[in-house]
């Protein structure tokens, strides 16, 4: 039967929490036996990542490697860590793969649900704030070792520029002006970005330094995957501009890496 009781509620997360808490098992962490510490438990969740975002003159580039690790093993070689959210934003996730993917999916549905019911897009600032609530609601699991940390970026139509937001485990939201990288190889990627990023760089420059930063992260961090020329697996790169969210074609990414390798 059609349930009409949630009229006027544009918060999909809240509706699910009330009507279908079973679908939010990991993000409703009070349900999970709080004494279990997953880090010490018998299984190891998939994790390990470098994801980053770089502001350039027309918007922002988001990128991530493709590897998920299971302890010291490679768990998955082709995982996606960047997800388009709406026409002008995308989310990247680092941490335990399962809850990460769930959070990205829920966040995307939330933003689209708001847009369709209200008839107008949720502002970039509004999206960034809502994501802070989602991270905060995962705190229980984070305490048990299943941390999820997103990096959020988008094109702000009002301010006419790309913007980047980073989060801490308790839901703190902080804005970065030029670039940021998170995950196990985040610090290595940030070092490269710090040296190579200049204000008002072009799209081509931005793609080049993003490829280089991910290369350096993979070089230093065992949990970050580099370009796999044999299997043809390359990092995913997205651009977010006034025109929308676009994935950089695999051939372009391959070319970026071939040029980078030629320079080494």
Partner 1 sequence: MSTPYYVSPEQIRQDKEDFVSRGIAQAKEVVVLEYREGLLMVAENPRKTTFKISEIYDRIALAAAGRIAEYEILRVAGIRESEIKGFRYYREDVTAKWLTNLYSQHMGAVAQAWDAKPLEIELLVCEVGTTDAPADSGLRNNQIYHIAFDGIYSEEEKYAVIGGRATAIIEILEQRYTDGLEMPAALQLITDTFRTIEADAEDDYEITPQTIEVACLEKTADRRKFRRLSTDEVTTLLS
The smaller minimum CB distance to partner 1, of residues 5 and 73, is found at: 5
The C-alpha angle 56, 149, 106, rounded to 5 degrees, equals 95
Examine residue 19 and tell whether it contacts partner 1 (CB under 8 A). Answer: yes
Hey, what are 168's tokens?
Answer: 């801490």
Q: Would you count residue 264 as binding partner 1 (CB under 8 A)?
A: no
Applying CB under 8 A, does 157 fall inside the site for partner 1?
Answer: no
Task: Indicate the angle between helix axes 12-19 and 124-137, nearest 10 degrees.
Answer: 30
Active-site residue 49, yes or no? yes
Query: Backbone phi, then psi, for 250, in 5-degree steps?
Result: -60, -35
Exactly one of 18, 77, 78, 105 binds partner 1 (CB under 8 A); which one?
Answer: 105
Q: Where are the beta strands (DSSP E) in the chain?
A: 51-56, 59-64, 68-70, 73-76, 82-86, 89-95, 148-156, 161-167, 173-176, 179-182, 236-241, 244-247
Smallest CA-to-CA distance from 156 within 126, 193, 133 is with: 126
Number of Cβ within 10 Å of residue 212's Cβ equals 20
| By CB under 8 A, residue 25 contacts partner 1 | no
Q: Which stretch binds partner 1 (CB under 8 A): 27-35, 113-121, 163-171, 179-187?
A: 113-121
Q: Give the three-state DSSP class for 85.
A: strand
By the rule CB under 8 A, 241 interacts with partner 1: no
- In the complex with partner 1, the residue whose CB is nearer, 21 or 71, is 21
Q: Rounded to whole angstroms, how far apart are CA atoms 67 and 75?
A: 7
Q: How far is the CB of 111 from partner 1 (least distance, A)?
A: 11
- Backbone torsions φ then ψ of 88, nearest 5 degrees: -130, 25
Q: What does each C-alpha distance from 165 to 93, 105, 128, 181 come to in angstroms?
A: 12, 18, 7, 11
Q: Cβ 19 to partner 1, closest distance in Å?
A: 7
The answer to whether 17 contacts partner 1 (rule: CB under 8 A) is no
CB of 137 to partner 1, least distance (A): 16
- According to CB under 8 A, which one of 42, 43, 119, 198 is a site residue for partner 1? 119
Considering only 57, 117, 161, 171, the residue that binds partner 1 (CB under 8 A) is 117
Whose CA is closest to 250, among 225, 262, 232? 232
Residue choice 60, 94, 104, 106 for contact with partner 1 (CB under 8 A) = 106
**Near partner 1 by CB under 8 A: residue from 18, 77, 78, 116:** 116
Are residues 60 and 240 in contact, defined by beta-carbon separation less than 8 angstroms? yes
Beta carbon of residue 105, minimum distance to partner 1 (angstroms, whole number) = 7
Q: Could you say which of 25, 109, 143, 233 contacts partner 1 (CB under 8 A)?
A: 109
- Residues that bind partner 1 (rule: CB under 8 A) add up to a total of 20
User: Contact positions toward partner 1, by CB under 8 A?
Assistant: 1-4, 6-7, 12, 15-16, 19-20, 23, 105-106, 109, 112-113, 116-117, 119
Task: List active site positions.
Answer: 49
């Amino acid at each position: 039967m059609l349930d009409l009781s949630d009229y006027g509620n544009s918060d999909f997360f809240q509706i699910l929490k009330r009507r279908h808490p079973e679908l939010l098992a990991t993000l409703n962490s009070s349900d999970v036996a709080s004494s279990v510490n997953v880090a010490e438990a018998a299984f190891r969740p998939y994790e390990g990542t470098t994801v980053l975002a770089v502001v350039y003159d027309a918007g922002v580039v988001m990128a991530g490697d493709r590897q998920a690790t299971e302890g010291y093993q490679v768990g998955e070689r082709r995982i996606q860590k960047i997800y388009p959210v709406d026409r002008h934003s995308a989310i990247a996730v680092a941490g335990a793969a399962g809850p990460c993917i769930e959070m990205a999916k829920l966040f995307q549905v939330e933003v689209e649900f708001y847009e369709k019911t209200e008839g107008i897009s949720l502002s970039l600032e509004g999206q960034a704030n809502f994501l802070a609530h989602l991270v905060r609601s995962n705190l229980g699991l984070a305490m048990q070792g299943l941390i999820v940390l997103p990096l959020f970026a988008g094109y702000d139509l009002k301010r006419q520029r790309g913007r980047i937001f980073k989060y801490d485990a308790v839901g703190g939201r902080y804005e970065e002006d030029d670039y940021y990288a998170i995950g196990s190889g985040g610090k290595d990627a940030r070092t490269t970005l710090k040296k190579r990023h200049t204000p008002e760089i072009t799209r081509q420059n931005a793609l080049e330094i993003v490829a280089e930063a991910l290369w350096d992260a993979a070089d230093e961090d065992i949990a970050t995957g580099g370009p796999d020329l044999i299997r043809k697996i390359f990092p995913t790169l997205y651009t977010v501009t006034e025109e929308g969210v676009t994935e950089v074609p695999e051939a372009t990414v391959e070319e970026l890496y071939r040029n980078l390798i030629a320079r080494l």
